[in-house]
Amino acid sequence: DIQMTQSPSSLSASVGDKVTITCRASQDISNHLAWFQHKPGKAPKSLIYAASSLQSGVSSKFSGSGSGTDFTLTISSLQAEDFATYYCQQNDAFPFTFGPGTKVDIK
Protein backbone atom coordinates (compact mmCIF):
# COMPACT_ATOMS: atom_id res chain seq x y z
CA ASP A 1 0.00 0.00 0.00
CA ILE A 2 1.10 3.58 -0.61
CA GLN A 3 1.85 5.29 2.70
CA MET A 4 0.98 8.95 3.12
CA THR A 5 2.62 11.18 5.69
CA GLN A 6 1.79 14.76 6.65
CA SER A 7 3.64 17.46 8.47
CA PRO A 8 3.13 19.00 10.83
CA SER A 9 0.67 16.80 12.71
CA SER A 10 -0.76 19.93 14.29
CA LEU A 11 -0.18 23.65 14.21
CA SER A 12 -1.44 26.73 15.95
CA ALA A 13 -2.03 29.82 13.87
CA SER A 14 -3.73 33.18 14.04
CA VAL A 15 -6.43 34.64 11.83
CA GLY A 16 -4.74 36.14 8.80
CA ASP A 17 -1.74 33.81 8.89
CA LYS A 18 -0.51 31.94 5.84
CA VAL A 19 -0.50 28.22 6.56
CA THR A 20 1.34 25.48 4.67
CA ILE A 21 0.80 21.75 5.14
CA THR A 22 3.04 19.17 3.53
CA CYS A 23 2.11 15.69 2.36
CA ARG A 24 4.50 12.99 1.17
CA ALA A 25 3.73 9.73 -0.61
CA SER A 26 5.86 6.61 -0.22
CA GLN A 27 6.06 6.27 -4.01
CA ASP A 28 5.41 8.34 -7.13
CA ILE A 29 1.69 9.08 -7.43
CA SER A 30 1.94 11.64 -10.24
CA ASN A 31 -0.73 14.25 -9.48
CA HIS A 32 -3.25 11.81 -8.02
CA LEU A 33 -3.57 13.66 -4.76
CA ALA A 34 -6.54 15.26 -3.02
CA TRP A 35 -6.98 17.46 0.04
CA PHE A 36 -9.92 17.45 2.43
CA GLN A 37 -11.05 19.60 5.34
CA HIS A 38 -12.84 17.95 8.26
CA LYS A 39 -14.52 19.54 11.24
CA PRO A 40 -15.80 17.39 14.14
CA GLY A 41 -19.30 16.09 13.56
CA LYS A 42 -19.44 17.52 10.06
CA ALA A 43 -19.13 16.05 6.60
CA PRO A 44 -15.58 16.22 5.27
CA LYS A 45 -15.18 18.72 2.46
CA SER A 46 -13.21 18.30 -0.73
CA LEU A 47 -10.83 21.20 -1.30
CA ILE A 48 -8.37 20.15 -3.98
CA TYR A 49 -8.24 17.30 -6.49
CA ALA A 50 -5.54 16.31 -8.97
CA ALA A 51 -2.98 17.98 -6.68
CA SER A 52 -3.76 21.55 -7.70
CA SER A 53 -7.33 21.79 -9.02
CA LEU A 54 -9.67 23.74 -6.80
CA GLN A 55 -12.95 21.99 -6.11
CA SER A 56 -16.03 23.85 -7.30
CA GLY A 57 -17.28 26.34 -4.73
CA VAL A 58 -14.12 26.29 -2.64
CA SER A 59 -12.47 29.57 -1.74
CA SER A 60 -9.39 30.52 -3.76
CA LYS A 61 -7.50 31.08 -0.51
CA PHE A 62 -6.86 27.33 -0.71
CA SER A 63 -4.24 26.15 -3.17
CA GLY A 64 -2.43 22.91 -3.81
CA SER A 65 0.84 22.11 -5.50
CA GLY A 66 3.27 19.29 -6.11
CA SER A 67 3.65 16.10 -8.07
CA GLY A 68 5.39 12.78 -7.71
CA THR A 69 5.88 12.29 -3.98
CA ASP A 70 5.78 15.76 -2.43
CA PHE A 71 2.72 17.96 -2.15
CA THR A 72 1.62 21.12 -0.38
CA LEU A 73 -1.66 22.66 0.71
CA THR A 74 -1.55 26.39 1.36
CA ILE A 75 -4.16 28.56 3.02
CA SER A 76 -3.27 32.11 2.05
CA SER A 77 -5.02 33.92 4.90
CA LEU A 78 -6.47 31.80 7.67
CA GLN A 79 -9.99 32.65 8.78
CA ALA A 80 -11.99 31.46 11.76
CA GLU A 81 -13.92 28.94 9.67
CA ASP A 82 -10.68 27.28 8.53
CA PHE A 83 -9.80 25.79 11.90
CA ALA A 84 -10.16 22.09 11.21
CA THR A 85 -8.21 18.94 10.41
CA TYR A 86 -6.79 18.63 6.91
CA TYR A 87 -6.12 15.30 5.19
CA CYS A 88 -4.30 14.46 2.01
CA GLN A 89 -5.21 11.34 0.06
CA GLN A 90 -3.70 9.45 -2.83
CA ASN A 91 -5.94 8.05 -5.53
CA ASP A 92 -3.22 6.63 -7.72
CA ALA A 93 -3.54 3.01 -6.64
CA PHE A 94 -5.81 0.83 -4.55
CA PRO A 95 -6.27 0.97 -1.70
CA PHE A 96 -6.67 4.72 -1.75
CA THR A 97 -4.93 5.92 1.39
CA PHE A 98 -5.16 9.03 3.52
CA GLY A 99 -2.54 10.90 5.43
CA PRO A 100 -2.88 10.98 9.23
CA GLY A 101 -4.18 14.55 9.22
CA THR A 102 -2.97 17.99 10.27
CA LYS A 103 -4.99 19.72 12.96
CA VAL A 104 -5.06 23.49 12.61
CA ASP A 105 -6.17 25.32 15.72
CA ILE A 106 -6.23 28.83 17.08
CA LYS A 107 -3.09 30.27 18.58
Partner 1 sequence: EVQLVESGGGLVKPGGSLRLSCAASGFTFSNAWMTWVRQAPGRGLEWVGRIKRNADGGTTDYAAPVKGRFTISRDDSKATAHLQMNSLKIEDTAVYFCCLGSGYSDFDYWGQGTLVTVSS
Summarize as ranges the residues that interact with partner 1 (CB under 8 A): 34, 36, 38, 41-46, 49-50, 53, 55-56, 87, 89, 91, 94-101
3-class state of residue 42 by DSSP: coil
Shortest approach of partner 1 to residue 76 CB, angstroms?
22
Query: What is the rounded CA–CA span in Å between residue 102 and residue 8?
Result: 6
In degrees to the nearest 10, what's the CA dihedral of 106, 8, 84, 67? 140
Q: Of 38 and 61, which has the nearer Cβ to partner 1?
A: 38
**Helix, strand, coil % in the chain, rounded to nearest 5:** 5, 50, 50
Shortest approach of partner 1 to residue 40 CB, angstroms?
11
Q: Of 17 and 38, which has the nearer Cβ to partner 1?
A: 38
Q: Of 28 and 100, which has the nearer Cβ to partner 1?
A: 100
Shortest approach of partner 1 to residue 18 CB, angstroms?
25
Query: What is the rounded CA–CA span in Å between residue 77 and residue 106?
Result: 13
Shortest approach of partner 1 to residue 23 CB, angstroms?
13
